[in-house]
């Protein structure tokens, strides 16, 4: 089930709110939320609930055991068992075929392992349950008495299948004590509607324009190559940031306060700043649980370079078991090292417009690497950006897309920048509040109309 579906909007969500708010007792509310979250997750593939339950229970017992053991080595052994139990599922479903087939191809073998079907959201809930066990081991959080509370943390439907990645220490107090005030519910619902509109009215339309462009199917042109990268960048931003908006909003209507996951990344003036604004929860996870434990940047230069490249290799692989994701991760790792050790002073002295152009160009190129799973196709797309191997400057398909969609991508790009918040700040307070009250039902109504008429409604990050 997805948030941007009529069954979720008019069946699941009303039923959830009805059951959740007629029960005054928090323990019973948590039980309702767990049951509805499992229903949400198992709507299409109920068998995968078992993997999530197994990972949750193993880490529950490991965390409880860690708190009872004083010996450091035994504590580490228990922690390792909990981590391996969770990571083994992720490793098998997401990476086993990739590594096995790469190894076979390296030695010229024709044998290939078929890829198992990837359980939706496994990368997200695996990382979340790991933060629980590690936080308990570090003494950053207390072990939970009830496995139901841990299952609620892992399975809670707003952020279950596409994030944001919620670290256990950030949400632990609200598992046991929380309240939903009318203002919180209203703000959360407005945030949900904002995300729904971003998904349906912006991400989906960018995706439709990209499909019409039919990249590389009839040869490459310079305009087609750049337009494809631009449209995909907008689609993936609005797709994922919309899901984060909806997750944060839904969480707030239920009494949970999740951290922000996006902060207008396309307004960044360095690539480092871009990654402090894009998918912030993933960056925080790798920083807190991989980069800093490795030594971070408080070590020798050689070690800091290794740490950065290793983390970005993992970041690439987290997004997918394919060589394009490995290259994508290392691409950003190298650029971040260049900004830190080579270009730091030059970027500080450069005009803001030049820094914005530098960042936008490198991020735009990165979408080609991310989008093109086939390495040969990726190479043709990248060379087409500079006019190599092209059939011309522009073709009829690109002209048609430009003629049909010209104003829409430009409007979407403006909305990806902090344009609306800047306008809101200039409005009188009462006018801004009135505008928000009118805008929410309007966006909801228009989004529902589009959902009824649209057949194109994917969530890109579901496959990660």
The secondary structure of residue 43, as a DSSP letter, is: T
CA distances to 13, 51, 195, 441 from 437, rounded to whole Å, are 21, 42, 16, 7
> Exposed/middle/buried for 302, CB within 10 Å: 0-12, 13-18, 19+?
exposed
CB atoms within 10 A of CB 67: 13
DSSP annotation of 113 reads P
Instruction: Specify whether the CB–CB gap between 132 and 141 falls below 8 A.
Output: yes
- CB of 67 closer than 8 Å to CB of 61: no
Q: Measured between alpha carbons, how far is 242 from 458 in angstroms, rounded to an integer?
A: 12
User: What would the two tokens of residue 42 be?
Assistant: 């198992």
CB 243 within 8 A of CB 457: no
Distant-in-sequence, close-in-space partners of 323: CB < 8 Å, separation ≥ 6: 102, 375
- DSSP SS3 for 221: strand
- For residue 75, which of 172, 143, 165 has the smallest C-alpha distance? 143
C-beta of residue 281 within 8 angstroms of C-beta of residue 165: yes
How crowded is residue 131: how many other Cβ atoms within 10 Å of its Cβ?
A: 24
Does residue 319 have an active-site annotation? yes
Task: Choose, from 257, 279, 319, 381, the residue flagged as catalytic.
Answer: 319
Q: How far apart are CA 447 and CA 451, in angstroms?
A: 6
SS3 call for 391: coil
Cα–Cα distance measured from residue 359 to residue 269, given in angstroms and rounded to the nearest whole number: 6
**C-alpha closest to that of 162 among 203, 133, 190:** 203
**Angle 242-178-48 from CA coordinates, rounded to 5°:** 55
Q: Is 117 exposed, middle or buried (0-12, 13-18, 19+ CB in 10 A)?
A: exposed
Q: What is the largest CA-CA distance in the chain?
A: 71
As annotated, the active-site residues are 319
């Amino acid at each position: 089930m997805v948030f941007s579906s009529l069954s979720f909007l008019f069946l699941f969500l009303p039923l959830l709110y009805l059951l959740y708010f007629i029960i005054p007792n928090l323990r019973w509310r948590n039980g309702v939320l767990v049951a509805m979250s499992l229903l949400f997750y198992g709507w299409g593939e109920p068998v995968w609930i078992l993997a999530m339950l197994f990972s949750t229970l193993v880490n529950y017992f490991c965390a409880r055991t860690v708190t009872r053991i004083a010996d450091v080595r035994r504590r580490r052994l228990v922690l390792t068992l909990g981590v391996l139990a969770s990571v083994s599922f992720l490793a098998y479903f997401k990476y086993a075929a990739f590594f096995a087939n790469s190894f076979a191809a390296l030695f010229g073998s024709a044998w290939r392992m078929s890829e198992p079907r990837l359980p939706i959201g496994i990368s997200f809930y695996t990382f979340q349950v790991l933060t629980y066990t590690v936080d308990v081991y570090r003494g950053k959080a207390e072990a939970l008495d009830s496995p139901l509370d841990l299952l609620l943390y892992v399975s809670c439907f707003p952020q279950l299948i596409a994030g944001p990645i919620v670290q256990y220490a950030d949400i632990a107090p609200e598992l046991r004590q929380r309240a939903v005030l009318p203002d919180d519910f209203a703000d959360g619902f407005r945030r949900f509607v904002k995300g729904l509109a971003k998904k349906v009215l912006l991400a989906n339309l960018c995706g439709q324009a990209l499909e019409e462009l039919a990249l590389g199917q009839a040869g490459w042109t310079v305009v087609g190559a750049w337009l494809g990268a631009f449209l995909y960048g907008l689609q993936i931003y609005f797709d994922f940031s919309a899901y984060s908006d909806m997750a944060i909003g839904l969480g707030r209507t239920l009494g949970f306060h999740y951290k922000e996951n996006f902060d207008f990344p396309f307004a960044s003036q360095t690539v480092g700043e871009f990654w402090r604004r894009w998918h912030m929860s993933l960056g925080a996870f790798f920083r807190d649980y991989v980069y800093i434990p490795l030594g971070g940047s408080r070590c020798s230069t050689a070690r800091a370079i290794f740490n950065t490249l290793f983390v970005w290799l993992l970041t690439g692989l987290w997004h997918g078991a394919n060589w394009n994701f490995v290259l994508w991760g290392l691409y950003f790792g190298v650029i971040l090292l260049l900004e830190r050790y080579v270009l730091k002073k030059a970027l500080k002295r450069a005009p803001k417009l030049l820094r914005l152009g530098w960042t936008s160009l490198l991020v735009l190129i990165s979408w080609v690497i991310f989008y093109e799973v086939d390495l040969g196709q990726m190479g043709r797309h990248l060379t087409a950006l500079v006019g190599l191997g092209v059939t011309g400057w522009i073709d009829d398909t690109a002209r048609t897309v430009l003629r049909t969609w010209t104003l829409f991508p430009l409007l979407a790009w403006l909305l990806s920048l902090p344009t609306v918040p800047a306008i809101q700040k200039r409005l009188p307070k009462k006018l801004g509040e009135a505008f928000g009250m009118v805008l929410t039902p309007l966006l909801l109504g228009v989004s529902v109309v589009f959902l009824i008429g649209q057949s194109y409604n994917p969530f890109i990050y579901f496959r990660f």
